[in-house]
Structure 1
């Protein structure tokens, strides 16, 4: 942008003006589009030189990040990578640095049936006569997403059934992969027809998890893991991955971390992200499968639910959708209560009866009608559930 400055002069007692041209830094969408085209081509070609050549001179941190992205492209078998400039974000700084929203697509071949799509904030900076890429992501994690594969070189563990990518060590990736491998047969014991591959992403921190999912800071701070869409696409083939919060799972014992992973794999197996199932049934069923073969006493598996009931009294009704908000009070107690309700259904109708009820709700049938037709009205489930909670307080 060129700005004309007006300079007042005095000549023969009269005022005159003389315009002077001053060059002000401005965004260059055309140059940004060209840099992004080189970036996408470099990722598709797994070309380290092309990608590191997009880093600003004397910026080893960005160069390492872009080199790591080239490594990720190979280890994750990234495909269908595109990067389209959309619009400028904010203003251009005095040194010519600015940010833009970029629509990106990507897919992990062999695991994602269709590409993910998301808006990513990319930083651009002048590098002599060229425009360089200065990084990914907005300030405070509130602008767009930062896909995990853009954070630099990741540790990767893969097999025919699963792909694990971790912003951490190879040992951490292997540990997570072992949990996935142990969790798959846990799920297929109850859901034998499931055979879909699984992708698990583990950012370095809870705040990075929020950025990976494009969520407000703090959204997933207290959540051990979540199964979610990778980007903004919601179609039947849009990728759905498991995302792990290491700040929570690292504090769990081995058995607890395994239950978390098995729980999330149930969500993958039942396509829970795209199916409108009653939240208590959704979460309770996942915990029922994950805990099915454990030998823990109720005082352990229902410990937080018991604590909440002692403090506030036995709830009048099963947990609602609001109770499962990631920042809700006593969230873990609500999960335990949901599991207890599903266990009661399995005790009264048998495990296949519980699966049948879940599958009916999964197909869109009213849950109350499903239970009624099975001979176990929802009111009876709630009554038995309250009685069992009350008995645990004695």
Structure 2
């Protein structure tokens, strides 16, 4: 599902059964930002091509110098310097820029840079003909101290105007789209955990509770997936569902049962970036302590496994592995974790195959079953071969390179790590389902 902003949703999550966990149900999403930096919209491409072919080097350099001054002002928390990059007559824009800087006061920035991606990126509203303006798509790249060795990027659409030979920021609202950041929505409160950073617009006690769960989740995840993933998390806690939707560029109504979203760029080359976990406040608040623990551990697993998750990694494996890790040590039984699935199996309705990726989409019918089947598939691996083999299988799928397609990659990885192919593994998984459905525990 494309968000229309910067990313393609490629993963689903787990489904928590309501029994004893609070809330009706929750999902999370894993978002692949690799497509983000990828391709601008078609109209932007045509504008950018025109600009690039015109050799407008002086304009580009002048605007980039302005952006460099703005970046330096943000890092120095220098409100006067930031105001000097905006026309004196544009008081509303100056006020909004000052508010943004104030909202960032607690955020521990290690880096803040702007880079022009395209000039003439969108059509501008008409103004007096003597006014020289340029519409640009700009990339913001920022780093959080102690958490990002590689920058997190966001897209902005900005209009620049030339006054007295100087380029200034004329508007940040001439073009819809772009990425909303937490500090665009209000003053950010920061809570530092032992191995996490929580940035939020909620009360201090709520943010501290999220940090406590995140700190507990990190060693729990490392106990399964090893210590080579950075062992730190960054969590964003907006105040309401509308803010949650704005941060992700989605309709919040479609996420009314989704507790959290993990955004990330896949593959080992992205290991220097600490991906963000965004908490959906309404769903989070409906969960009890156990539910929040499972959610946070599940999300942290996505952060830990992101470097060995690829486009061809099946969602039953990525989501099943995250749920397997999330439920470890909770004492929940298969009947409590997969109630709908085992009830169907007991009634003779046994799934013929592992769930395909589309089964995890939010609008798919039988969504709970897909998540339950995914958890149970990973349970089968662990029950028959041990937990280290689940970790090895996950890495082996990524290592195949995806040649031949997803099924071929999974089949090869299964043979390498478990000694059985996809067809045989599916049959064993179905046998395990039948045994669990017959069990009284």
TM-score of the superposed pair, with normalisation by structure 2: 0.68
Alpha-carbon distance change, 54 to 70 in structure 1, aligned in 2, over 3 angstroms = farther
How many aligned positions are there? 361
Match of 2:391 in 1: 355
Contact 2:214 2:296 in 1 (8 A): yes
Which segments of 5 or more consecutive residues in structure 1 lack a partner in the other structure?
1-27
Contact 2:109 2:142 in 1 (8 A): no
Per-residue CA distance 1:17-49 (angstroms, 9 max, x = gap): xxxxxxxxxxx9999767644432211212234
User: What's the CA shift for 1:309?
Assistant: 6.4
Match of 1:224 in 2: 259
Residue 199 (structure 1) aligned with residue 231 (structure 2): no
User: What's the CA shift for 1:341?
Assistant: 0.9
Match of 1:386 in 2: 430
Alpha-carbon distance change, 47 to 85 in structure 1, aligned in 2, over 3 angstroms = farther
RMSD of aligned alpha carbons? 4.0
Match of 1:264 in 2: 299
From 284, 303, 306, the counterpart of 1:249: 284
Match of 1:371 in 2: 414
Alpha-carbon distance change, 38 to 315 in structure 1, aligned in 2, over 3 angstroms = same
Match of 2:56 in 1: none
From 171, 174, 197, the counterpart of 2:208: 174
Alpha-carbon distance change, 251 to 126 in structure 1, aligned in 2, over 3 angstroms = farther
Distance 1:98 1:255 in 2: 53
SS at match of 2:286: coil
Residue 42 (structure 1) aligned with residue 47 (structure 2): no
Q: Which has the higher strand share?
A: 1
SS at match of 2:287: coil
SS at match of 2:216: helix
Contact 2:192 2:211 in 1 (8 A): yes
User: What's the CA shift for 1:90?
Assistant: 4.1
Which segments of 5 or more consecutive residues in structure 2 lack a partner in the other structure?
1-58, 402-408
Distance 2:371 2:174 in 1: 33
User: What's the CA shift for 1:111?
Assistant: 1.2
From 100, 103, 109, the counterpart of 2:139: 103
Alpha-carbon distance change, 67 to 362 in structure 1, aligned in 2, over 3 angstroms = same
User: What's the CA shift for 1:338?
Assistant: 0.6
Contact 2:104 2:183 in 1 (8 A): no
Contact 1:52 1:67 in 2 (8 A): no
Distance 1:203 1:189 in 2: 30
From 186, 192, 197, the counterpart of 1:152: 186
Match of 2:124 in 1: 91
Alpha-carbon distance change, 176 to 48 in structure 1, aligned in 2, over 3 angstroms = farther
Contact 1:205 1:247 in 2 (8 A): yes
Larger relative contact order (Cα-Cα within 8 Å, sequence gap ≥ 6): 2
User: What's the CA shift for 1:147?
Assistant: 2.6
Alpha-carbon distance change, 170 to 84 in structure 1, aligned in 2, over 3 angstroms = farther
Distance 1:244 1:40 in 2: 28
Alpha-carbon distance change, 65 to 85 in structure 1, aligned in 2, over 3 angstroms = farther
User: What's the CA shift for 1:346?
Assistant: 0.7
Match of 1:118 in 2: 154
Contact 2:192 2:198 in 1 (8 A): yes
Larger Rg: 1
Alpha-carbon distance change, 299 to 236 in structure 1, aligned in 2, over 3 angstroms = closer
